[in-house]
Amino acid sequence: MAEFDVDLFVIGGGSGGVRAARIAAGYGAKVMVAEEYRMGGTCVIRGCVPKKLFVIGSHVHDKIEDAAGFGWSIGQVSFDWATLVANKDKEIARLEGAYTSNVEKSGARIVKTRAVLEDAHTIRLATGEKVTAKYILIATGGAPNHGPIVPGIEHVISSNEAFHLKELPKRIVIQGGGYIALEFAGIFAGFGSDVTVIYRGDNILRGFDEDVRKHVRAEMEKRGITIITGRTVAKVDKHGRDFTTHLSDGSSIASDQVMFAIGRHPNVRGLGLEAAGVAINPANGGIQVDGWSKTSVDNIYAVGDVTHRTNLTPVAIREGHAFADTVFGKRPVEVDHATIPTAVFSQPEVGTVGLTEEEARAQFSHVDIYKTDFRPIKATMSGRDTRVLMKLVVDGVSDRVLGCHIVGDGAAEITQAVAIAVKMKATKADFDATIALHPTSSEELVTMRTPTARHVRQAAE
């Protein structure tokens, strides 16, 4: 008789948990996956995928406007929000089915129920069944965080509800200045909503390069999005179908919808972590793990947003794969969390990899900056008032490219390719030796030859 019912029990059917389950099963492990909502997790069901579909849809209005400069005469057009939502739902259902099928094909078993730890090796399902496992992987992800509770918080939606609104709001107030807030600001503005963004800091996109932050804000404001910084939402009142958002400075804004996108918290509540002895990281509220994704309990691991390390889907997938390779494939793999490329699908789009100028100047004595800001070729004919930003951050001693920051159409696609070079520790000379691909915006990355700034940190006496 086997000592345990399964070799691996995965709590959470999102990207990280699914990858770990499939790889572990491929190594011959007996695997069970518990998912209480829908297979696919945040990214597939209520995150990256539906958001990107909405972003793509919201760009169509600009394309129609730009067409006139290229000789196209397009008649009256209309947009139907309900059709967009229905078609998005069909695609998400298809992807959920694919996730489910791929897990089952690998030989792992899925149970659609909540799972709670009773001890380090025992899981209790909401059905009443108990399962024992040699190893447990927690991959429960994260959830929207509304922050400090304000009067009227019950009237506020998160990104989760934004994907299922019955109608497109004519006016929407969005509190937040990060990925999700700015992406939805662009989405709603693209579909014709009047959008106001409220952020408590001095500028949006905290943690990004300062030039990126300034450029994105200026471009968003050109598009008619109102951005109010240095303030927070103090109260939300509802009057019939309308809302009044009261700000910390005493001003107020009327709208049809109010959305908070001020961060996410790890899904750690009610999992039985205390019973199993799994420690929480006091610094970020996520499950505390080491470089191998192992928790404070030897046989329990955690990957993805529930650890609150780097909350990106590809990171969760890499962590899940590395866990399965290490534990079941006997191929120790430790994930390198340095130099992770990321994108913000705001309008304009942001792609970035490596260090910001501020981070580089804090870590290196000599930092060279190469920066260009230009009108893309499309805008010369469309007449659209928009500019692209490209910036390289270089170690002035070794000539290594430490960071690349792009704002404009295709920024994410370009950054994925550049990230390979940055990860390989390419030098500015390597970039210079690369022949430009003309005419493209990205050719600027290999034609910027003169530093726009050089910074030398004085040694302390």
Give the CATH number of the domain where residue 440 resides: 3.30.390.30
Query: What is the domain range of residue 438?
Result: 348-455
Q: Is 50 exceeded by the pLDDT of residue 461?
A: no
Domain assignment present for 126: yes
Domain assignment present for 333: no
Q: Are residues 103 and 83 in the same domain?
A: yes
Residue pLDDT, tens place only, 445-458: 999 999 999 999 87
Domain assignment present for 341: no
Q: Are residues 237 and 292 in the same domain?
A: no
Please, are residues 215 and 389 in contact by the beta-carbon 8 Å criterion?
yes
Distance from first CA to last CA of the chain, Å, rounded? 70
Q: Are residues 138 and 274 in the same domain?
A: yes
Residue pLDDT, tens place only, 182-231: 999 999 999 999 999 999 999 999 999 999 999 999 999 999 999 999 99
Q: Are residues 412 and 430 in the same domain?
A: yes
Number of domains in the chain: 3
Q: Is 50 exceeded by the pLDDT of residue 460?
A: no
Among 262, 284, 309, identify where a domain stops.
262
Q: What is the mean pLDDT of the chain?
A: 95
Among 213, 246, 262, identify where a domain stops.
262
For the chain, percent of residues with pLDDT exceeding 70:
99
Q: Are residues 74 and 128 in the same domain?
A: yes
Q: Are residues 379 and 438 in the same domain?
A: yes
Active site amino acids? 438
Q: Given pLDDT bands bounded at 50, 70 and 90, which one contains residue 146?
A: confident
3-state secondary structure the chain: CCCCCEEEEEECCEHHHHHHHHHHHHCCCCEEEECCCCCEHHHHHHCHHHHHHHHHHHHHHHHHHHHHHHCCCCCCCCCCHHHHHHHHHHHHHHHHHHHHHHHHHCCCEEECCCEEECCCCEEEECCCCEEEEEEEEECCCEEECCCCCCCCHHHCECHHHHCCCCCCCCEEEEECCCHHHHHHHHHHHHCCCEEEEEECCCCCCCCCCHHHHHHHHHHHHHCCCEEEECCCEEEEEEECCEEEEEECCCCEEEECEEEECCCEEECCCCCCHHHHCCCECCCCCCECCCCCCECCCCCEEECHHHHCCCCCHHHHHHHHHHHHHHHCCCCCCCCCCCCCCEEECCCCCEEEEECCHHHHHHHCCEEEEEEEEECCHHHHHHCCCCCEEEEEEEECCCCEEEEEEEECCCHHHHHHHHHHHHHCCCEHHHHHHCCCCCCCCCCHHHHCCCCCEEEECCCCC
Mean pLDDT of 32-61: 93
pLDDT score, position 337: 93
Q: Given pLDDT bands bounded at 50, 70 and 90, which one contains residue 459?
A: low
Among 262, 280, 309, identify where a domain stops.
262
Domain assignment present for 15: yes
Residue pLDDT, tens place only, 399-445: 999 999 999 999 999 999 999 999 999 999 999 999 999 999 999 99
Domain assignment present for 335: no
Q: Are residues 293 and 358 in the same domain?
A: no
Mean pLDDT of 339-356: 97
For the chain, percent of residues with pLDDT exceeding 90:
93
Domain assignment present for 23: yes
Give the CATH number of the domain where residue 257 resides: 3.50.50.60
Q: Are residues 289 and 252 in the same domain?
A: no
Q: Are residues 53 and 75 in the same domain?
A: yes
Domain assignment present for 461: no
Distance CA 248, CA 138 (A): 39
- Between residues 17 and 461, which one has the greater pLDDT? 17
Q: Are residues 186 and 214 in the same domain?
A: yes
Q: Are residues 209 and 60 in the same domain?
A: no
Residue pLDDT, tens place only, 92-129: 999 999 999 999 999 999 999 999 999 999 999 999 99
Residue pLDDT, tens place only, 240-283: 999 999 999 999 999 999 999 998 899 999 999 999 999 999 99
Q: Are residues 179 and 253 in the same domain?
A: yes
Mean pLDDT of 351-362: 97
Domain assignment present for 338: no
